[in-house]
Structure 1
């Protein structure tokens, strides 16, 4: 139970395709609208480009590519993460379809992911009659 209780707290829920995902609010510094992205030659497939956010060059990542989500809709919002989680890559943000809300979760709501090959999925949060996939951006960016 101690491992599970360490995974609770506040999370930010967002939409990718038809699914709802969440990340720990501790990783998030701000949420911004999509602006002009500058393409980066020879960047990995999951990097959509870079943006200038408050004087800092921020890499914009498409988590749909990272998680293998087949969806053609263009992201409308960017979740900007604390640069400390991105290691040597600088500031990063995720292109998401919609940002919903910050919610408090308890240990009873979190189940382990049935398929967690990369470790980037912290668990599945049970909510009403739905599930929210809890991802760990620190793991995602350490893999990239």
Structure 2
């Protein structure tokens, strides 16, 4: 494994009251999170190859262990105007998201894995967007829990 790469271990999660592990990451000054079971690995951001005439949120592609991986900028998908470091790429497990191809998100920073309970998620403040699962309050900050399918649906 290359330096800076992280393999994500799978944990048991259900919607029946069991805890869920989430990965918190930064986009600009905001924090977001995804269910860790949807993640294949986390890698350092590297050189991307731009694809001509691709949608604005597709940053390009990169080779990850022999797989062509589409890299998406979630800031474009979520309409975030702030600049950031763009240090890491969260690579999603193609078997757990609707796309079935290898997709990654370029994010400013990856912070931590947290374990949350269903009662930690506020679903009353969310939008009508099915891809926002709720708001998690963590140590006096709010973390928006999103579904990675939001970016793959935008591609289609």
TM-score (norm 1): 0.89
Cα distance between partner residues in 2 of 1:14 and 1:7? 22
More off after superposition, 26-35 vs 110-119: 110-119
Report what 1:25 is aligned to. Answer: 36
Q: Contact 1:120–1:140 at 8 Å: present in 2 too?
A: no
Distance change in 2, residues 1:42/1:7 (3 Å): farther
Report what 1:15 is aligned to. Answer: 26
TM-fit CA distance, 1:7: 8.7
Distance change in 2, residues 1:58/1:143 (3 Å): same
Query: Would you say 1:87 and 2:86 are equivalent positions?
Result: no
Q: Contact 1:113–1:121 at 8 Å: present in 2 too?
A: no
Report what 2:152 is aligned to. Answer: 141
Alignment of 1:1-144 (within 5 A): 5=16, 8-84=19-95, 85-88=97-100, 90-112=101-123, 114-144=125-155
- Give runs of ≥4 in structure 1 deviating > 3 Å: 3-8
Cα distance between partner residues in 1 of 2:104 and 2:47? 14
Gaps of 5+ in 2: 1-13
TM-score (norm 2): 0.83
Distance change in 2, residues 1:116/1:52 (3 Å): same
| Aligned partner of residue 10 in structure 1, secondary structure | strand
After superposition, the CA RMSD in angstroms is 1.9
Q: Compare the two structures and name the one with the higher helix fraction.
A: 1
TM-fit CA distance, 1:112: 1.0
Q: Contact 1:77–1:97 at 8 Å: present in 2 too?
A: yes
Cα distance between partner residues in 2 of 1:57 and 1:92? 9
Cα distance between partner residues in 2 of 1:7 and 1:111? 16
Cα distance between partner residues in 2 of 1:65 and 1:7? 33
TM-fit CA distance, 1:140: 3.2
